[in-house]
Amino acid sequence: MQIPGGNRSLFETSWKKCLPLISSLQCLELVIETLRLTSGIYLQPEMVLNLPKDLHEETFKNITTVFKELYNKMAARTQRAIYEWMRQTLQRSYKPPGLNGSGSWITAENLWFLGQYIVHLPLEEIQKINPNEIRLFINYDNATKQLDSVYDITPATAKAFQERIDASGFDLINTSTVYRLGLLVCFFDNVQELDAGEARSLLHQMIKCNRLKGFQVAVRKLKSQLLELVLKNQTLNESLDSISDAIAGLSFTQLESLSAEAVRNAISVLRTVTGWTKSQMIVLIDKFIGDSKQLSVFNISQLGELMLGVSAGLLYNMSAEGLAQAVRGTLSEHAAQLSAVQRMAVVTKMVETSDISSVLDLLNGSFLKELSVSSLLKVKDYNITRLDHKELRRSQALYLYNVVSDGKPGSEIISVGELAKGLTCEQIQSLDNTTFLPVAEVLKSNLDLLSSHQLNCLAWKYQQEAPTLMPPLLLATLPHVVLEDAAQSVCRLLLFSLGRAELQLIIPDSTKRNEVIRRAFQCLNYTLQDEYDVDVLGGMICNLSPQTIKTNISLKALTEAFMQFRSCKNLSNDQKIEIRNKIREYYSTPTAWQPELIQDLGPLVTFLSKEDLTIVAEKFPDVLLQLALDVEGMAIFQDFLAVVFSTLIRATENDKLSSLTPGCRGFTVPSFDQILKLADANSYWSVQELSCMSTQTFIKSVEHLGALKSFDMIQLIALKDKAKMAWGPIRSWKKYQVVALGRIALALNESEIKELELGSIDTVAALSQQKEWTPTQARSMLEGFLRDSGLTVDAMKEWDLVGLGSLLCAMTDQEVIFLSASTYSAAAARISEIVCGVEILQELLKKARYGFGNVTAWDNFILQEVGTVAAGIRKEEITMLNEELMPYFRPAAIAALPSEVFKELSPKQLANLGPENAAIVTESQKAALSTEQLSSLQAAVDGADSNHLIQMLLSASPILNSESLTISVLP
């Protein structure tokens, strides 16, 4: 069960051997057990076709029970094949009643029996169902549970069922019927016949529509229509607590019209709604808090996810006791969703009002990661068990490891929480042969926590102490000459390990990574012969070259290869083109495809040529549009987006603007529904079409448009101008409107930015998330924040610095001088992620010296904490750093070091950079190095341990001199 392909082998063998004897109890039990054990993922459509059609009734029921259990885990084509097999068996056993009876095999009993597989019933079959049978089916209490589970039903199938239910005498508008419809309610088609009470009842049932696999745009539109009906006889304030999750579809204008009393009265409903945007939350929180501007622990417990709209200042101003209670409850539940600014405000208050050990006890998860090393330095002793299950930054782990271990490594320490991140190379090397193996055994189950440097150090220790016990994954971190010697004996295990790891994290250098992949693929004779080879290769399939994909994957391996390729995140265009060709080769022209194949291929469909995509769009427009939503935000071919856009526009040809709006006659005007359906394909709207959008559509869709990365600057300017039309002069824009803009804000020029109200750091933090600001725009925002908040640079708090993010780079040297050193130290871990110009980094490093002492006396955890700021180091300081500190520079800090500073590193320092830092060195930095320095740098890239490698190579080959040694460690 633990070896690659073991599950598949067990399943396929059991299936093959037992299928002819499936009626025997032993074989039936074995098939059922292996199906459950493997979740049915290895069951192929052709295997289902081989199932006997004449099974005993009990055997048929037992095996279909398992098929129904595993429905959600199986491929769409397998689901379809199982439905066809079940249909044939049910049809064969169906005995039509007398002449007056129905000839359809779809009885109430068979509908119950099919379970989720009813979604595969053809429309013409549904239309033939006898009304008496559908009435029996709906009357049965379990039918509701069954219809609640059909998450992959299509609108056409749902409407066909509704028509038969209606024809059977049920009143679809009746509340008791609505309750029985399950997910069919998501496609209700007679809104015009409803009164306000019936619309409200339907809205409450539609909460479950979030489970649907697709068609959420249609669901949202239906909820909006129902909401309009509800509000005909009641105001929004009166209806707020009774309109279900349709509230999330309210516009800013509607939310602004709410009274504070209505929001407070409905808060128990509002807090349970999913789908709120950040801007909507800001509006609701302002209503909820009102003029009091105070938060209590009771308030926070009422808010739930709406906490995301609370300002950092409100959190900081809470009482310390109340905030501590909230951190144990509601705040902790939503910590990962809170902004870094909000979390930093909470942590700052905790640190100011409690002793640091208590804070360390209290904080967990995302909150704990905001706790600065400068605060942790006050912890001199700590109970190790209290760190269990706590998530730590590497700098925190490095410091706390020393606190709890007194600098000595031990298996009982690294088995607690994430303290393994704090284990240094020197500590690993210091282990004697009796203590190493217990420590190594614990580390084996925590390899995913270790850096590439730690993995490399651990591999060398294994090589020294117990080479035969080395986990195969660690072999890949060693120099190629060592890997070549050792890999053959653990060939398939090496492949298995690499296929389930993030290779870029383990082997940062692309040249060495490609060599490791080549060596591993050699274990399969450079060919994927069948699905078992694909199992063994695992995630490494994402690293195969385009040529290998083209020529070295057999037809027998392709089905499973496609399933693996689906999960690849960073395929090159050349790889995608070869996968596209393989899809065409294997499945032929899309004219013969079925929707289930498109669902199974998923994101791979986006690789198809424009011609093939057009065929898919003409056959299955709904499937293609749903796929566009599923792959939103992925890097995909423009051909796919172009076809998605033309497909939707073709489907809405009648939406031409018929008014006399100047310049807009004859243009397709974007509607809210279209914008939601198009996702990334919205980038194909012309500037003219975006300009013709109604202000109401813009207001409803602004956050969707602002979240897209595909708009160019001309389109963004058109959307900015539309914002001015919708919201009035920029000086009147409210903070939730500024937050809603997203990338559209990038179109604001310097003078427009000066008109924004930027007094809230939460607003500025939302703007700073955009990474494309020009220096003048960034400077305008920084000045706007200081002006509107009334703060001076020296008065800024920790969360202000965190919120400014990359806008800190817009400060002048003189402004940085006035930053509080203690405030900088508390926010250092966040500031460590931004890359400013050298002058700013040098000034920030002065703040780091105030907080942490002279650079030459820094510990590894401080170097890790200050991150990119370390790139401001002086020449004379970098030469004095101990080589053991070199791996604790952040990669971004190494890349940001000026060449004239970088070249001062000694060969020994360069050799100790560690694989990740060595791989990030820029070409201009390399150009400044001597031959000796370059050799040392290459040794670090390749994962060489200078002492061990020299001794091993020289003892093996006495004739080697220093020149041949340098060549030997090159990949």
Q: Indicate whether 655 pLDDT > 90.
A: no
Q: DSSP letters along 66-106, please?
A: HHHHTGGGS-HHHHHHHHHHHHHHHHHH----STTS---S-
Q: Bridge partners of 528?
A: 553
- Phi, psi at residue 626, to the nearest 5°? -65, -40
Task: Tell whether the model's pLDDT for residue 949 goes beyond 80.
Answer: no
- 140 band by pLDDT with thresholds 50, 70 and 90: confident
For residues 228 and 243, the answer to whether their CB atoms sit within 8 Å is no
Q: How confident is the model over 166-186, as a mean pLDDT?
A: 90
773: confidence class by pLDDT, cuts 50, 70, 90:
very high
Task: List, for residues 401-456, the tens digit of each pLDDT value.
Answer: 999 887 677 788 888 878 999 999 999 999 988 889 999 999 998 899 999 999 99
Burial per residue of 869-884, b for 16 or more beta-carbon CB atoms within 10 angstroms, e otherwise = bbbbbeeebbeebebe
Q: Is the pLDDT of residue 95 over 80?
A: no
645: Cβ–Cβ under 8 A, 6 or more apart, which residues? 678, 681, 684
Confidence (pLDDT) at 656: 52
pLDDT tens-digit readout, 253-302: 899 999 999 999 999 999 988 889 999 999 999 999 987 788 899 989 99
String of DSSP letters for 261-306? HHHHHTHHHHTT-----HHHHHHHHHHHHGGG----HHHHHHHGGG
Structure-token pair, residue 340: 């870094």
Q: In this structure, what token pair is assigned to residue 927?
A: 């150009």
Neighbours of 266 (CB within 10 A): 20
692-697 long-range contacts, CB within 8 A, separation 24+: 692/657, 692/661, 692/663, 692/664, 692/667, 693/669, 693/722, 694/669, 695/722, 695/725, 695/726, 696/251, 697/669, 697/670, 697/671, 697/672
Query: Is the Cβ–Cβ distance between 293 and 314 less than 8 Å?
Result: yes
Chain-centroid distance of CA 639 in Å reads 25
d(CA 861, CA 872): 17
Mean pLDDT score, 20-25: 90
Average pLDDT (758-765) is 96
Is the pLDDT assigned to residue 661 strictly greater than 90?
Answer: no
Report how far residue 748's alpha carbon sits from residue 738's, in angstroms, rounded to the nearest whole number.
11
Calpha distance 461→467 (Å, rounded): 8
Q: Is 13 exposed, middle or buried (0-12, 13-18, 19+ CB in 10 A)?
A: exposed
Q: For the chain, what percent of residues have pLDDT higher than 70?
A: 95
Contact 819, 847 (CB under 8 A): yes
* pLDDT at residue 363 is higher than 70: yes
Q: Which two three-digit tokens encode residue 951?
A: 């001794």
pLDDT tens figures, 624-634:
999 999 998 88
Residue 143, token pair as written in the block? 């039918």
| Per-residue pLDDT tens over the stretch 510-551 | 999 998 888 888 889 999 999 999 999 999 999 999 999 999
pLDDT, mean over the chain: 90
Give the whole-angstrom CA distance, residue 387 versus residue 826: 21
Low-confidence winner among 18-32, 203-217, 657-671, 882-896 (lowest mean pLDDT): 657-671
Q: Which amino acid is at 855?
A: V
Between CA 528 and CA 515 the distance in angstroms is 18
Q: Is residue 969 predicted with pLDDT exceeding 50?
A: no
Distance, in Å, from the CA atom of 628 to the CA atom of 378, rounded to the nearest integer, reads: 52
* Distance, C-alpha 835 to centroid of its chain: 24
What average pLDDT does range 931-959 have in this prediction?
69
Instruction: Examine the pLDDT at 768 and tell me if it is beyond 90.
Output: yes
526: left (phi over 0), alpha (psi -120 to 50) or beta: left
957 pLDDT band (50/70/90 cuts)? very low
Closest CA relative to residue 637, chosen from 662, 663, 613: 613
C-alpha pair distances (Å), 126 with each of 43, 182, 194, 522, 831:
28, 17, 26, 54, 61
Token pair for 886 = 């070199």
**In the prediction, which pLDDT does 98 show?**
56
658 pLDDT more than 80: no
Distance set, CA 537 to CA 41, 246, 880 (Å): 17, 46, 45
Average pLDDT over residues 9-13: 92
Model pLDDT, residue 97: 67
CA 952 → CA 452, 488, 914, 961, distances in Å? 22, 19, 20, 13
Number of alpha helices (DSSP H) and beta strands (DSSP E) in the chain: 66, 0
* Amino acid sitting at position 453: H
How confident is the model over 742-750, as a mean pLDDT?
Answer: 97
Write out the two tokens for 396.
Answer: 């925190």
Distance between CA 783 and CA 789 in Å, rounded? Answer: 10
**pLDDT, average across residues 208-234:** 91
Q: Evaluate if residue 956 carries a pLDDT over 50.
A: no
The label of the residue with tokens 């409850």 reads 329
Dig out the tokens for 370 from the structure.
């905001």
| The pLDDT value given to residue 946 | 53
SS3 668: strand
| Distance (Å, whole) CA 193 – CA 226 | 11
* Tens digit of each residue's pLDDT (9 = 90 or more) over 688-743: 999 999 999 999 999 999 999 999 999 999 999 999 999 999 999 999 999 999 99
User: Taking the domains of the chain in order of start, what are their residue ranges?
Assistant: 372-469, 811-970
Look at 144 and 63; give whichever has higher pLDDT.
63
